Amino acid sequence: MIQIKNAKELDGMRRANALSAAALKYGGEHIEAGMTTWELDKLIYEFIVKHGGIPNFKGLYGFPGTACISLNDTIIHGIPSHDIVIRPGDIVSIDTGAKVDGFNGDNACTYAVGKIDLEAQRLLDVTKAALYKGIEQAKAGNRIGDIGCAVQSYCEDAGFSVVREFVGHGTGHELHEDPEVPNYGHAGRGPRLVPGMTIAIEPMICQYDCKITQSKDGWTVKTKDGGLAAHFEHSIAILKDHTEIMTRSWDDPDFDPDTFRFQ
């Protein structure tokens, strides 16, 4: 069942997503070649806890980390590890969130480590742009299918492919709520978007084929052909006259996570 948030609940969602976005940007700014993904995860954990939040990925369905940290051909759900070292030229996806006063935030971004090749950069640019194409369609009166259609058409027109097995979702008191928000589909189909809905839109886009493979750890999802993958995510609120990007600060070049304070 889709949960419609009232004004007080929306304020709670804003706080949770503000901390989530600050933690994501903090992690992104501290990526260094030579560090392990476990070390990066620890930094994000400490940031969330320092500001009074609960790392809401940690322990969820048994996931051991504060963030899913996925390198190169790993699409999503990379487990932080002492054995995975970040190298120059890698692309690193961080997907993380915080729970604040019973509400959940969720967001993701793929970062370049130093200089990456032109096709890898194009994948990042297209995936991020597709996220905003989806958000443009996420407005009261439209349908879920309008979001997926916008993401899919933009990415496929650029020559990339869209993961089918994993999708965006509603957010709220639970990290994953109804409705599912696919990154593919047909305009004019699916549940109608109404004021008070809060959803996470998260394109997961592959450089080549969209077929996936699941690792033996039960979590890590990779491209089957070894191509690169990118992942960007915002949590948004559908309001009567506009759509609010609650995690907008991770993409704000002027935002300094070291100065984060709850408003």
What DSSP state is assigned to residue 96?
Answer: E
- Binding residue per annotation — 77? yes
Is the CB of residue 108 less than 8 Å from the CB of residue 96? yes
- Binding residue per annotation — 119? no
Which whole-number Å values give the CA distances from 54 to 164, 193, 257, 260, in the listed order? 30, 29, 17, 16
Helices assigned H by DSSP within the chain: 7-29, 37-50, 118-137, 144-157
- Binding residue per annotation — 258? no
- Binding residue per annotation — 233? yes
- Binding residue per annotation — 95? yes
Spatial separation of the C-alpha atoms in residues 152 and 11, rounded to whole Å: 31
Spatial separation of the C-alpha atoms in residues 136 and 75, rounded to whole Å: 24
- Binding residue per annotation — 256? no
Burial class (CB in 10 A: 0-12, 13-18, 19+), 60: middle
Spatial separation of the C-alpha atoms in residues 93 and 73, rounded to whole Å: 10
Is the CB of residue 178 less than 8 Å from the CB of residue 144? no
- Binding residue per annotation — 136? no
Is the CB of residue 151 less than 8 Å from the CB of residue 170? no
Residues tagged in the binding site annotation: 77, 95, 106, 169, 176, 202, 233
Residues tagged in the binding site annotation for a divalent metal cation: 95, 106, 169, 202, 233
Residues tagged in the binding site annotation for substrate: 77, 176
